[in-house]
Structure 1
Amino acid sequence: MSITTQTDFAKFAPYSYRDDPAVPDFDESRPVFVFDHHCVLCGTGVGFIMRHDKRGMIAFTSAQEGLGEALCRHYGVDWDETYLFIRNGRPFIKFDGYFEVARAMGGLWKALIVFRIIPNFILDPVYNLVARNRYKWFGKTEQACQVLTEDQRARLI
């Protein structure tokens, strides 16, 4: 089963990954952003968040290995369709995840939450269109996280 909407997560209790022996222990003091490390758009987006997350409030990991892969499997998230953002033990995807990233970063970024008034039945098709075409439109790297700087790669868990 692949999770495709935010409401699909209703069956998961907060921090449910703690009970999954396949998910390695990790520092839960910061939210975790799990992304496709071969996608140029995804890597560029992660780099943008890192540059603006000056306090280092968010941790990042690749969906294709270790922790990220285990979290995606636990939640039934196909990293080829969306990223995964986990905050306070709860999973978020698509635009819901971006709004949660804005909350986590705080400050003026929280103002972006005003766009939450746009319903998911409008936002999700836009997200899905970009996700389906991201390699064609933005490219794919063979070297993991190639679009991140050395300092940014050092922030990956």
Structure 2
Amino acid sequence: MSTNALPFKAYSYRNDLKASDFDDTRPTIVFDGECALCSAFIQFVIRHDKREEFQFTTGQSSLGQALFQHYGLDTVNFETNLLISRGKAYAKMSAFSQTTSLLPYPAKFLSLAKYIPSPLDTWLYDLIAQNRYRLFGRADSCLLPDSKLKKRLIE
């Protein structure tokens, strides 16, 4: 089961001047704003997050860049979404299963992905991530926020 956060101290980004300037009382998803699959996942979260708990930023934003850099993740290829929740960082399948676990049913059922054994979950996630542009497309620009996203988007 792969539900572990990245091996970093909780709230470690608060000590990083580049990454500390955001409201971390809400779950925050950092995603590739140019990836059609990533943007579709964010739209999925928005549709199911009836209490509007999640907030979002793109990996291309200054905060997204700072968080990816802080956690030693690629700041160009964005081969994972990053979830920051209660000070812990989650990546790859852990980010997916943790995010969906915070949504109401029926979307919460997708959190069962946490039971995919490691390293199979990592292999599967990486396979999709490495081929996401070819399989799902790439936007010419970042996701244009509608009114629902705009008030929850950290730029």
Q: What's the TM-score, normalizing by structure 2?
A: 0.86
Q: Percent identity?
A: 36
- Indicate which of 11, 14, 19 corresponds to 1:18: 14
Q: CA deviation at 1:69?
A: 1.1
Aligned to 1:130: 128
Distance 2:107 2:37 in 1: 20
Q: In the alignment, is the contact (CA less than 8 A) between 1:32 and 1:60 conserved in 2?
A: yes
Distance 2:98 2:130 in 1: 22
Q: In the alignment, is the contact (CA less than 8 A) between 2:6 and 2:91 conserved in 1?
A: no
User: Once the two structures are superposed, what CA deviation does each residue of 1:42-97 show, in whole Å capped at 9, x if it has no partner?
Assistant: 11110111111011111110101121111111001125211111111111011111
Q: CA deviation at 1:117?
A: 2.2
More helix by percentage: 1
Aligned to 2:139: 141
Distance 1:113 1:138 in 2: 22
Aligned to 1:119: 117
In the comparison of the two structures, how many residue pairs are matched? 151
1:52 aligned to 2:48?
yes
Aligned to 1:89: 87
Q: What one-letter code is carried by the residue in structure 1 that aligns with 2:69?
A: R
Consecutive aligned runs of 4 or more in structure 1 exceeding 6 Å deviation: 5-8
- Cα RMSD for the two superposed structures: 2.1
CA 1:114/1:6 → structure 2, altered by over 3 Å: closer, same or farther? closer
Aligned to 2:39: 43
Distance 1:123 1:59 in 2: 25
Secondary structure of the residue aligned to 2:84 is strand
Single out whichever of 102-111 and 52-61 deviates more from structure 2: 102-111
Distance 2:112 2:4 in 1: 20
Structure 2 unmatched runs, 5+: none
Q: What one-letter code is carried by the residue in structure 2 that aligns with 1:41?
A: L
Q: What one-letter code is carried by the residue in structure 1 that aligns with 2:97?
A: F
Q: In the alignment, is the contact (CA less than 8 A) between 1:57 and 1:104 conserved in 2?
A: no
CA 1:26/1:154 → structure 2, altered by over 3 Å: closer, same or farther? same
CA 1:150/1:106 → structure 2, altered by over 3 Å: closer, same or farther? closer
Q: What one-letter code is carried by the residue in structure 1 that aligns with 2:92?
A: K
Q: What one-letter code is carried by the residue in structure 1 that aligns with 2:111?
A: I
